[in-house]
Structure 1
């Protein structure tokens, strides 16, 4: 059973981390640091909980290892990607829409909000570690789902980074590899691995922790992921419109032939 007192204490620790990062962002005039911090706040929530409750059994040990691997890999990847790039376009828009006083507003509309969401997202990992029950077949299924998600995220990120480093035409679109089957394989992978984490929680009897993967999927598809990233990309990169017509937005699927895609969209 989840120790709710320890879980609430974890929220305080995550909030403290986000406040320190906010102070740094004010000095740097760049809130993009929150992206580097995102996965680490989820890890901090789980780690803080385990500090207070102890690591109870093989499932807790496995969950801590999986979340640590995911969080460190993603944070390092984003740090390398963002190095020397300045503030992300998305945050520039948020900054311009919240003047005057964005420097202090960002404490709650960027850092506070993401700290709270990270705490909620950590719930199935916390719930899974709270049960001393032995590992079973559902845990194996959870590990397989998590592994598939991690592969999608890592390979998708690697293919995109390689594409961006190569000299290509300004309007070139990545439509090979995993990106041939989904416009956002890295986002799909992240959602999938958190459904894997939820299966660990389900194996521990915490079915109600489904709020976490549902929230993560919603954020990636409708809020901060696909929807926000593609909001103006078609205007900036016309070739991307054809890619949208041919390729699934999120869940991998065979691409439509160019002619079929054009007919369906009135071309």
Structure 2
């Protein structure tokens, strides 16, 4: 019964924004600008602000109220997979939209595939249930902030998600605001996005199989495997994060190609946040006694995000130099844009991971202790 209730809540909650937007489109195509009210005129001329208004009123406020009533903020996780689909269709159908037909359809199709992959992973992880639990980080913060959590959650969960979700979807706006002919950079962007989806799918599938196998071993009273060190996870401690970042930075290439290079801001913020989340996840691993020793060794020999060959503990510092060498490649490629377009693209994609590699390899000896003691910083993240 609870599962059915959550299904209804999840389907009904976004309807206010959807119905309002459909009403706006209906009014526009029936009347144009001839008898537009101030509200419809504003909606017409400010597509980015309207998208943010929808998010603030429908997600930040309404989702927050629902979360308070249910004492669980599970719904924002589910809608991470849905909101980008809603936004790309919103930008594509806005009356001021202008775009290359092929580019638009390819981006929409890839976004649908990305969403289906992530939704499948979400429900598979939740055993095909709706709203069984909220993100473990939200639960930790709930305990940390106690009676203040009801208002802290608005900023920590919802307002921050507006920055991330609307931000990473800015390339969708770029794609539907410039009518430029399809070119080689679109092919590069598609290749990066598809690689990201494929990598994330295989990484999440390997992780799910590992967890399922351990659950079976535990049920049989047998020793469980402390650490996943096979497949993509042999070359990266977080290949699923790497694949997800490839997807978002692949979209940035679309925006950059269309003269909207500023759309990288959302992906940069998202990458920086995920860098910190990576540290939280790894600290959580190290608190589990049965896997702590194995995971420490895994940390010393395996790349953080960017898949790379295993290294010995003595070679750990050399890997830092490998990371910085990517920076050099990036600037060399920028200097020869017309000669090395694919190298430029590759360098751009890995740049988002450099912060993580350097940060965690150096073990964050100063920054992380400061952030752990600074609740306001945690709140922003």
TM bin, normalised by shorter chain, reads: 0.7 to 0.9
The residue that corresponds to 1:174 in the other structure is 228
Q: Is the Cα–Cα contact under 8 Å of residues 163 and 266 in structure 2 kept in the other structure?
A: no
RMSD (Å) for aligned C-alpha atoms: 2.4
Q: Does 1:245 align with 2:300?
A: yes
The residue that corresponds to 2:87 in the other structure is 45
> Does residue 1:230 correspond to 2:230, yes or no?
no
Q: Which moved more, 1:203-212 or 1:54-63?
A: 54-63
Kindly provide the CA deviation profile for residues 135-163 of structure 1, in whole angstroms up to 9, marking residues without a partner as x: 11010011111111111111101100011
1:120-139 CA distance string (max 9 Å, x none): 11111211221111111010
Q: How far apart in 1 are the matches of 2:45 and 2:167?
A: 13
* 1:72-123: CA deviation from partner (whole Å, max 9, x where unpaired): 3213322331346633321111111222132333122202211232111111
1:7, 1:174 → 2: CA distance?
A: 42
Q: Which stretch shifts more, 147-156 or 112-121?
A: 112-121
Q: 1:14 to 1:69 in 2, by over 3 A?
A: farther
Does the CA-based 8 Å contact 1:60-1:128 persist in structure 2?
Answer: yes
TM-score by length of 2: 0.63
Shift of 1:260: 6.0
Match of residue 207 from structure 1 = 261
DSSP-derived class of the 1:117 partner: helix
Higher relative contact order (CA 8 A, sep 6+): 1
CA distance in structure 2 between the partners assigned to 1:29 and 1:147 by the alignment: 37
Is 1:104 aligned with 2:145? no
* Alpha-carbon distance, 1:15 to partner: 2.4
Indicate yes or no: 2:78 matched with 1:36: yes
Say whether the 8 Å CA contact 1:39–1:118 is kept in structure 2: no
Structure 1 partner of 2:182: 135
Please say which of residues 11-20 and 172-181 is displaced more in the overlay. 11-20
Corresponding residue number in structure 1 for 2:52? 11
- Whichever of the two has the greater Rg, that structure is 2
**How many Å separate the matches in 2 of 1:14 and 1:221?**
25
CA distance in 1, matches of 2:148, 2:268: 33
Distance in 2 (alpha carbons) for counterparts of 1:80 and 1:21: 23
Query: Which runs of 5 or more structure 1 residues have no equivalent in the other structure?
Result: none
Q: How many residues align?
A: 259
Is contact 2:77–2:135 with CA below 8 Å preserved after alignment? no
Q: 2:197 aligned with 1:156, yes or no?
A: no
Contact kept? 2:180, 2:258, Cα under 8 Å:
yes
> Structure 2 CA distance, aligned partners of 1:139 and 1:70?
17
Conserved 8 A contact 1:128-1:206 = no
1:66 aligns with 2:110: yes
- Note if 1:75 corresponds to 2:119: yes
